[in-house]
Amino acid sequence: MDKIFITKLELLHFQKHTHLILEFVNGVNIIHGETDAGKSCVVRAIKWIFFNEPKGDCIRKEGTKQTSVKVWLSNGNIVERLKSDTVNAYIINEDNKNRYDSIGKQIPTEVRKVLGINPLEVDGEEIILNVANQISLPFLMDKSGTFRNKLFNKLTGADLLDNAMQGLNSDLLHINKEEKSENISLIQKTNEFKELFIERETKNELYKKLLMSFNLVKTKQNNILKLIEFKEKINKIEEDININQKKMESIKFVDENKLDTLDYTINKLEILNELLYNIKQNKTGLLEVEELNNKIKIPNIDINSIRNKIEQLTRLQKTIKDLNNIDKLSEAYIEELEQRNVQIVEDKIKYAQLLKECKICPTCGKSTEEI
C-alpha cells in the first residue's frame, strides 16, 4: 500500500492564525519562523484534526465565531474539522452527506478510516507516535523500559505472539486441569456405572417379581369383581323374590260361588238384552202405528178405546223405561265381568311367572318343573 502523506493544510481562526495555508511534499518538511510566530500551532492543528487533541475551546482564536482546520491527503481525500459554540463536526471531501456532528471523545470510525491514522493503546494509555511534542525525549525515553518493550511488541506484532503464547499456556493449564478432572470424573462415572448396572439387575429381578405379583393381584381383582357382580345379581334376585312373595300375598283369588253367580247374571243379562231388543222393535212399531194414526182422521172417536190405548201406551212406556234401566245395569255387569276376567287372566300369568322364578310351588312344595 502506498504511503499517505499530507499535501496541504489550511487553518482558519486557529489559535494565533487567522488564515494560514501550508503546502507539503513527500518527504521531510521543515516549518521555521520567529519565536511565538505560531509554529507549534501548526503541530497542534495536525493533532487536533487527526487525534482530537487538544480538547475543548483552547484551539479557537479569541473573538472569532468558528474555527476550521482542513487537510488534503495524497490519496485525494479532503477532511475538515469545524468548531464553534454550536458546531463540532467533521466533513469528508467537502460533502455534507459525509458530515459527522456532535463529536465526543472519539473520532468517528469513518473519519479514522479516511485519515488512516489511529493511536496505539498500551496499558490503557493512548500513544500518538506520528506527532511528538517539542520538549519530549526521543522515542519515549520518558517512559519505562517495560512500557517501551510493550509498545515495540505492539508495533512489530510480537504482542500478538505473546498473547497467543500466554493464551496457549493458559489453555494448556486449563486442559491439564480439565483432563485430571475428567479422569477423576471418568473413574467416578465408571464406579457409578458399575453400581447402576448392579442396581439395574437387582431392579430387573424385583420388577419380574412385582410383575408376577401384579398379574396375580390383577387376576384376583377380576375374580373379586366377578364375585361382586354375582353377589349383586343374587341380591337383586332375592329382592325380586321378596317383592313377588309380597305380591302373591296380596293376590285375592275369586271364589267359585261368585264366578257361578257372575255366570248366572251374564245369562240373565243376555235374556234381558234379547227382551230389550224385542221391546225396541215393538216400540218402533208403535211409533209407526202412532204416526199412521196421526195421519188417519177418524170421524167417530171411541173415548174408552182411546183410554185403553193410553193406558196400554203408559204401561208400554213404563216397560221401556224399566228395560232401559235393566239395559244399563246389564252393561255395568258385563263391563265388571270383563274387567274381572282380564284381571283373572293377568293374575294367572303373574302367578305362572312367580312359580317359574320361585322354582318351588308355595302351596304344594313341589318343583315347578314337575308341575
Tens digit of each residue's pLDDT (9 = 90 or more) over 66-87: 999 999 999 899 999 999 989 9
What pLDDT is stored for residue 70 in this prediction? 94
The reply to whether 17 falls in a domain is yes
**Closest C-alpha to 52, from 81, 30, 76, 91:** 81
Distance, C-alpha 367 to centroid of its chain: 68
E strand residue ranges, the chain? 6-14, 17-23, 66-73, 78-84, 88-92, 99-100, 120-122, 125-127
What pLDDT is stored for residue 125 in this prediction? 63
Which has the minimum average pLDDT: 6-15, 119-128, 324-333?
A: 119-128
User: Sign of the C-alpha dihedral, residues 73, 75, 76, 78?
Assistant: negative
**pLDDT band, residue 287 (cuts 50/70/90):** confident
The reply to whether 214 falls in a domain is no
Whether 290 shows a pLDDT value over 90: the answer reads no
Which has the minimum average pLDDT: 46-55, 285-294, 341-350, 357-366?
A: 357-366
Looking at per-residue pLDDT, the higher value among 146 and 53 belongs to 53
Whether 296 shows a pLDDT value over 80: the answer reads no
* Residue 272 contacts residue 325 (beta carbons within 8 Å): no
Domain holding 82, by residue range, is 6-118
The reply to whether 177 falls in a domain is no
Cα 88 to Cα 56: distance, rounded to the nearest angstrom: 10
- The phi-psi region of residue 182 (left if phi > 0; otherwise alpha if psi is between -120 and 50; otherwise beta) is alpha
Tens digit of each residue's pLDDT (9 = 90 or more) over 201-260: 888 888 888 888 888 888 888 888 888 888 888 888 888 888 877 776 666 555 667 667
Q: Please compute Rg for the chain using Cα positions.
A: 69
Last residue of a domain, one of 118, 146, 174: 118
| CATH number for 18 | 3.40.50.300
**pLDDT band, residue 91 (cuts 50/70/90):** very high
Looking at per-residue pLDDT, the higher value among 331 and 220 belongs to 220
The reply to whether 159 falls in a domain is no
Name the one residue in this structure whose C-alpha cell is 202412532.
Answer: 290
Cβ-in-10-Å burial (0-12, 13-18, 19+) of 71 comes to: buried
What pLDDT is stored for residue 24 in this prediction? 93
Map residue 260 onto helix, strand or coil. helix
What pLDDT is stored for residue 142 in this prediction? 61
The reply to whether 23 falls in a domain is yes
Cα 317 to Cα 281: distance, rounded to the nearest angstrom: 13
Cα 7 to Cα 44: distance, rounded to the nearest angstrom: 17
Cα 312 to Cα 181: distance, rounded to the nearest angstrom: 142
What pLDDT is stored for residue 164 in this prediction? 67
Determine the angle formed by the axes of helices 158-250 and 303-358, rounding to 10 degrees. Answer: 130
* Residue 15 contacts residue 59 (beta carbons within 8 Å): yes
The reply to whether 135 falls in a domain is no
User: Beta strand 78-84 with 66-73: parallel, antiparallel or unpaired?
Assistant: antiparallel
**Number of compact structural domains in the chain:** 2
**pLDDT band, residue 361 (cuts 50/70/90):** low
The reply to whether 164 falls in a domain is no
Find the mean pLDDT for residues 32-59.
86
Tens digit of each residue's pLDDT (9 = 90 or more) over 243-280: 877 776 666 555 667 667 777 777 777 787 787 787 77
Last residue of a domain, one of 91, 118, 145: 118
Tens digit of each residue's pLDDT (9 = 90 or more) over 116-167: 876 666 666 666 556 656 555 555 656 666 766 766 666 666 656 666 666 7
Last residue of a domain, one of 118, 141, 169: 118
The reply to whether 144 falls in a domain is no
What pLDDT is stored for residue 11 in this prediction? 94
